[in-house]
A = this chain, B = another copy of it.
Amino acid sequence: MSSPSIFDPPPGPPKHILCVGAAVMDTIFRVRTLPQGQGKVLPYDMLQIAEGMASSAAYAIVRLGGNASLWGAVGDDETGKRIIREIGETGINVEGMLRVEGARSAVSTILVDDDGERLIVPFYDPKLHHTVKQFTTGDIAAFDAVLVDVRWPALALQVLKAVKAMGKPAILDGDVAPDGIIELLAPEATHIIFSEPAAQRLTGANDIPETVLLLKQRFSHAFICVTAGAAGSYRFNNDGGKIEHCPTLPAKAIDTLAAGDIFHGAFALAIAEGMAPGDAIRFSSVAAGIKCGVFGGRLGAPLRRNVLAMNEIAYEP
């Protein structure tokens, strides 16, 4: 376990990743089965936790030994205070968080059943992301990489441009978004990790490797990967010009909520640390796979030593 690993961080201080996007107060109920229409469902467990795409990714980075800063927006309400405080308590730098006057903080309810299936009810106040946080080049010079999600596109666009201009990794979490958002952000990203539904929506194709090829044709400047849940991830290998597959951990999923975000956070840190893209994908895949075995959204994000140990068990037996 103590032998050197390709997943070890490089010498020097931890890399610092800026995450831009969602910060939400989630209420996660654990139920035996998901409801069908009206009535009452009695959950047997419940958790309230501040998370969201960029927030959970930032949490994964901190758990894996990196530094993370979060730029997101909350409302000027009690929930907003709580979101910032809870995320700050995890070690994520929240100095760049914005409190938007007259807006309500994002809240979401998620039901997770015993098969790991989910029902999500997310509420976003449109006013939350009307403003764009002001920043200077100096503000982002300290970061080694940036990861943006699709929740705050106007800010994400400016940040991607600024970071890319510095020659640093500018990573896009290409999840399902309103029409035009991915098309807006993708040209400015150096690495794009698409979710399967987003990849299918963008390409019109169903076959995952085919979506990878079509997306690579469209965004040829960037590293392209599509994550497909239990089916693993597929990426375009720029060296060989081929599609490569990385399977997930062979374990029953307890809770896949935030698994994608953990993947993106791990990937951003790995890229910032200089890991080769293929290794970074496997690192991220193991981190996300461990998360799926733990109920509680982002709380399942593993420590780096857990990723290393699990990688040895799963891939190097």
A interface residues with partner B (beta carbon < 8 Å): 27, 29, 31, 34-43, 46, 48, 78-79, 82, 104, 107, 109, 111, 113, 117-123
Contact = CB atoms under 8 A, between A and B. Distances in A.
A38 B31 contact: no
A29 B118 contact: no
B46 A123 contact: yes
Given A48-B79, A107-B48, A121 B43 contact: yes
A119 B37 CA distance: 7
B121 A31 contact: yes
A27 to B, nearest CB: 6
Oligomeric state, in number of copies?
2
21 contacts: A27-B107, A27-B109, A29-B109, A31-B121, A34-B37, A35-B35, A35-B119, A36-B37, A37-B117, A39-B119, A40-B121, A41-B119, A41-B120, A41-B121, A42-B122, A43-B121, A43-B122, A46-B107, A46-B123, A48-B79, A109-B121
Contacts of A39: 119-120
Contacts of A104: 46
A221 to B, nearest CB: 31
A119 B31 CA distance: 14
A38 B109 contact: no
Nearest to A36: B36
A42 B34 CA distance: 17
Given A35-B35, A46-B107, A40 B79 contact: no
B29 A123 contact: yes
A43 B40 CA distance: 18
A48 B109 CA distance: 12
Contacts of A123: 29, 43, 46
A38 B122 CA distance: 14
Nearest to A35: B119
A166 B119 CA distance: 50
A111 B107 contact: no
Nearest to A45: B123
A142 B234 CA distance: 71
Contacts of A79: 48
Nearest to A79: B48
Contacts of A121: 29, 31, 35, 40-43, 109, 111
Nearest to A77: B48
Contacts of A29: 109, 121, 123
Contact of A122 (B35, B40, B78): B40
A35 B117 CA distance: 14
